[in-house]
Structures are given as structure tokens and as C-alpha cells.
A and B are shown apart, each in its own frame.
Chain A
Amino acid sequence: MVLKVFFPSCCSSADSGILIGRWISEQNSAVILAVVHFPFIPVQVKQYLGEVQHMTKVSVSVLGSWSNSKQEKEESLSEFLEDLGTIFCHEPWIQISKEGDSKFWSCSTLQKHSKNPQEEEIILVYYDQRKVMLSHLHPPLETAGQRAEDASKLSAIFDTVARSQVLFMTDRYDEGPIKLTHWQSDGVEASIIVELLKQASVPACMLLTFLLSLVSGICRSRVLTFWPLSFLWSKLSTCEQLGHRLQHLQVISSNKKAQNQNQLMRKANIFVSLLIDVALGILLMSWLYRKNRIGHLADTLIPVADHVAEELQDLLQWLMGAPAGLKMNRALDQVLGRFFLYHIHLWISYIHLLSPFIEMILWYVGLSACLGLTVALCILSDIIALLTFHIYCFYVYGARLYCLKIYGLSSLWRLFRGKKWNVLRQRVDSCSYDLDQLFIGTLLFTILLFLLPTTALYYLVFTLLRLLVVIVQGLIHLLVDLIDSLPLYSLILRLCRSYRLAAGVKFRVLEQQDGKPLRLLMQINPLSYGGVVQTYRLPTYSCYPRDSWASLCKKLFLGELIYPWKHKGDKQN
């Protein structure tokens, strides 16, 4: 069978010695982790390996010998290396030798106890030790209950290198009985900034936890949760967004260390997302407050509201006349039109009442943009909702009227045909009516039928307006959702250190020479950007359409009130 030897590229120029690593017998492959140089005492080497095995739970052992002869091939050295095979008994004993600066090494195995002494083919796979150690393999399928033997061969290799980190802690400048060569043997790297940040993060987290507990205590206090206020908070999307961000802060500031890769990435993603959000919010705030833009905004707000109200009045006048050439029922038309016009008049006077305070309110509300761009967008959405409240009211009135009319019509239509809706059995039954019942029913049916176009037109116009507002709000919420759930840290990691997020590996065939083993270079195949977003997406309180298109159309036709966006926490009704 084919023997695969995974050799770290950093050990290519190491001096002669013995190879230590892990032998994976099920795959007939040897993962070499380091080279131990002469002189060494075999007992000390075995002791050291025992300690490493105990700490890392990886079965590290001596796998073979490595000879790097810079001059002529030394016969005595090769005999000595073969004899080492008897001291550290390992089946099979791998011997790799490199002559001078040649790229092509010779690799052979010694099998003492094998039954079939045939020449097996050897494949030499070079890998970058540091990258494989730091990388995290993302398997395409995560099936629960995957047994250890089913785990892919590659994940076994990645696992071996990642867990043997303690082996890489000693470098050649350390005084010790064992001299190793691995990727850090030229000196252990560390960063002062990272260490300082780690030290500073503990008190910072504690302070943040304390502040957050204060804030959440205030939010949960009785003052803010009795009925009218709690209803208000649930309707404002700003409060939801703030609550969501508070939750995020709690996740970051918790003292527990992240258990696994997913949790660590999640924490990092939340942290970077919050940072960018606040930075963008402060940028927006500085732009708004420069040159008194807030003042201009407040000045244009009232004229805009007036303009909208005027447009609505024109629309109603048009409806009260002969809209699109249709002939309305004059009396009903006038009643509905006047009713809505009076409503608009009330709304205008209300806005004008507020006008001196608008600038101040806007100034203070604009300050909250420093909490994040998402909060600013939510405030914008709420302001739109408040300013178009009269459209919402008109829609509700129109819908209710239309709904009543439709129900009346359908029940009287059944009476027309001699049928009745049986509430008990939830079906339509035949029923014999009296003459006066039939007479009144037919009369009412005719009246309702001929008044239908008027009501339907009003309903149509106001529903379209309401849908327009809903679409605008929906777009803003979509943007907020996007900013909330985008895993920015993972994307930046994929851009700058793509080897950390691995979807798999790729092999490149290096130059070959006849008689020498097959040489391959194993590189890390990074995860695609789409895969990164899909794996590390942050969960949000996302709003998504409650109804399918068919049920939405049905509701519109029947005149039921529609609330197109459902939030995750809402009860099903």
C-alpha cells in the first residue's frame, strides 16, 4: 500500500536527526512534526515525548531518521541511522535523506515484521506547518454523530498539527536536552500589543458587565413596563434594535472564554460589527451637526408634512369628483371625503402645534446616532411611521368599511340563493327564509352592491399609499438587518489571512525524478466569501414576510388588515 509522509517545509534545511510525529495507521500516513538533532540521549527523548503525549493527547512518537548531508554521502551516518531504528522501534521506520542542495530526496522504509516485503510506493507531501496549525477546516457537511473513524483524513492531519502546539514552544535558543527544528525553532514569536490587550481586557470586561447590568436593571424596572409605555416600546423599532445591541454587548463582555472556534468567531464578529456601526454613526452625526444641517432638516420637515397633507387633500378632492371617469355615488362620496378631509385638517393643526419644538426634539434625537448607524436608521424608520400615521389611519378606516361591505355582500348573496352560513358546522347550508326576510335582504344587497365601487375605490387608494410606506420602511429594516448580521471580522480574515478559514486543501505536483518518491505540495484552499457569510452569519431578530403572495392577495381582496412584516418574537395569530 502507498505510504504518505507529510513533511513540514520548514524542516527542509534542518540538520540530520530523527523525525518525530504521529503515525496514523488507518490511513498509512505519517505526519512529521519536528526533527530532533544530535546529540541526544534516547531515554530523554522518550521521556520528553511521553510528556508531550500526556499534555496534548496526541500520540507523538519517533517515526524515522532524517539525514541532510551537505557534502558527500556519509556511509557511517547512514548505518548509524539504521541502528537507531532498533532503539526506537517503530513500524515502519522511515528514512529520508537529502544530498547537498538537491530537490529530490530519497525515502525508504524498513519493515522488520512485515509479512509481504514488497516495495511500497512513497508519496512525500510538503505542508506549511504554521498555516496548517492556525487554520480551521470547514467541512461541507456537519452530520451529527459522526464517528471518529469516519472523520476525514485531512481533518485528522489538521487536528494533529493544531493540537501539538506545545511541541512548538521550545526554540533552538532554549537550554534543554532536546534540540528540535520546527516552524518556530528560530525564535518564538509573540506580540506585545496582543499581550497588553489580553491583560487589559479582563478589567474592561468586568466594568462593561457592571454597566450593562445597571442599564438592563433600569430597563426592566416597573416604571417603564406598565401598559401604555410597554405597548409603545414594542411598536418602536428603535427600542428593539437597542435591545438587540445590548444583548450583543452582553455576549462580548461575558467572562467565559470561548469554547470553540464558532464561539470565538461570533464574539469577534459582534465586536467588529459594533465598532464599525458606532464609527459610522459618529461619522453620520458629525456630518449632520456640521453647518447646522439638523436645523435645515427641521426647517424642511414641517413644509414637507404640509406638502404631503396638501397632496392628500387634492387626492380626496379628485376622488370626490369623478375619478378616472368613474361615476361615484354622490352622497356616500361626499360623506367619506369630508370625513377624511377633516381628519387631515386635525393632523395639520397637530403638526403646526408641534412645530416650535421640532428642532429641539430633532437635535436631541440626532445625538442618539452616536449609538450606531443602525439605531439612526431605525429612528428614521420610526419618524417616517409617525409622520405617515394619518395614512395608516385612513387605511384602517377604508379597510374596515370595505371589509364590512364584503362580508355583508357575501352573506346577503347567500340569502339571495337561499343558503346560510352554519357557524356550528363551519359550512354553507340551505335555509328557508320568510318572505319579509327575503325582501329586506334583497333590498340591502342591492344597496350594498351599488355602493361597492365607491368604497372599493377609497380602499384601493389608501391601501396603495399604505403599501408604499410599508415598502419604504421594509427597505430601511432590510438595511439594518444587513448591517446587523454581516460577519465583518470573518470577511476581513478571509481577505487578509485566507489560510485561517479553510474549505479544504489543494495539491500541486512538484518536479519529479524517476526513482524518487512522488513530491506534492499541500496548500490550503480557502473558503469562498459566500461560504464565509453563510457559516458565520450573526442571528438577528429579522423581520420577514409573514404571508405568502397568495394569502396576501386574498387578505387584500377581503379587506383584512395586513401587517406584512412579522418579527421573530411575535406570537402567531
Chain B
Amino acid sequence: MAEERRFFSASGVPIALRRRQHSASCRELAVRGPRLQLRSLSAATSAVWLAAYGLFALSENSMVLSAAIFITLIGLIIYLHFVKIDQESLLVIGSLGIQVTSSYASGKESTTFIEMGQVKDVVINEAIHMQKVIYYLCMLLQDPEDPQGVSEVVPLFQSTKPRLDCLIEVYKSCQEILEQSKTAPQSS
């Protein structure tokens, strides 16, 4: 079953949280950010081309115009493929692990899977960023030598930056599954 709710990100843009329960121990939580607006794309392109035309008027060199077109295309491709993240999702499979996926605007997906044995806990942390205090969800990874220690902190939903209300929903869903896998009898 799937349900979608609207929230706001830390910088005020509207985001959507979609929860899907695939089975008793498998849940997928996806946070979708705003799509690329045509307005901002046209504004950026027009600005670059006006500047290039101004330079051309000054220097009478037509290479400036072709360079501007080239730069715009390459810049757009780089932006869509490496910078603009459309959706970040968390797939929690109890007893297997947690998978974090970021989907870019060009369709590229970058995935990391962390096994359940390495995950110590999922918590909400505070951070001081410039003049604000923001909340973020992070995964604590187990230190292999020290059972009480934390070897790494992996922050989640870094580019969509949901606010505390959205994070609480995600946190509750994750904890339900994590509790199941931690309290299930471990076979030695």
C-alpha cells in the first residue's frame, strides 16, 4: 500500500513523502523534491546568451556565440546528470539491510546498500548551519571492534532536506522495522 503526504523542506520548497509497505518487514520511504522549473531554465539560458551577445557586439568575434551555446548545453547536461536530485529514497528490508538511493534528473540512480549487521541505529540529529539549526536523519554504523561505539555517521536526505515533521514520520517507520530485526531471535 502506498500513501503520499506533502511537507516542506528546510529551505521552504514543497516536497512529498511517499511510503510503501511491500511486506511485513520491507518498507520504502521516498522523498521527492521539486522538479526543474522551465522558468529558471529559460532565465539562466537567456542571461548567458544575452551576455554572450553583448560580448559579440563588443568584440565582433562569432566564436563567442558558439562558445556560449556550447557552454549552455554542457552546463545543462552536467547539472541534470550530477547536481539536480529529484528523489531520495530509503528501502528498509528487515534482516537484510538498508538501501539509500538518489535519483538524478537525468535518470541516473546512485545506490548504496548497508547490511543490517553494520547498522547500529537510525536517529535524528541537530546541526548548526550558518544562522539556523536544522534537523537531519542519519544512520549510525556499528564499529566492528567496539560494540558500543559508532564507526561512521551517514546522513540521509541531504539534498531534499525535509523538516522535522517529515523526519519524524520516516524515523517512526524505520524504527518499527529495526526493532523487529533487532528483537527477532538470532540463531547462533
Contact = CB atoms under 8 A, between A and B. Distances in A.
B115 A2 contact: no
Contacts of A2: 25, 94-95, 181, 184
Contacts of A150: 144
Given A1-B184, A507-B99, A518 B113 contact: no
Which 8 residue pairs are nearest across A and B when measured between Cβ atoms?
A: A518-B23, A2-B95, A506-B111, A1-B184, A504-B113, A509-B22, A512-B22, A518-B26
Nearest to B114: A504
B95 A506 contact: no
A392 to B, nearest CB: 41
B59 interface: no
Contacts of B113: 504-507, 525
Nearest to A152: B115
Interface residue range, chain B: 20 to 34
Contact of A152 (B28, B117, B181): B117
B139 interface: no
* Best-surrounded residue of A4, A146, A520 (most CB of chain B within 10 A): A520
B111 A525 contact: yes
Interface of B: 22-26, 28, 91, 93-96, 99, 101, 111-113, 115, 117-118, 144, 181, 184-188
Secondary structure dominating the interface of A: mixed
Contact of A154 (B99, B115, B186): B115
A378 to B, nearest CB: 35
Given A2-B181, A125-B96, 14 more contacts: A1-B95, A1-B184, A1-B185, A28-B95, A121-B24, A123-B26, A123-B96, A152-B115, A152-B117, A152-B118, A153-B117, A504-B113, A512-B23, A520-B96
Contacts of A548: none
A502 to B, nearest CB: 11
B187 A1 contact: yes
A25 interface: yes
A123 B93 contact: yes
Contacts of B112: 504, 525
Contacts of A121: 23-25
B21 to A, nearest CB: 10
B96 A4 contact: yes
A28 B117 CA distance: 13
Interface in A135-171: 143, 146, 150, 152-154
Contacts of A175: none
* Best-surrounded residue of B96, B118, B188 (most CB of chain A within 10 A): B96
A504 B112 CA distance: 8
A146 B187 CA distance: 21
Contacts of B24: 121
B179 to A, nearest CB: 14
Contacts of A146: 144
Interface in A1-18: 1-2, 4
Nearest to A153: B115
A150 B91 CA distance: 24
B93 A506 contact: no
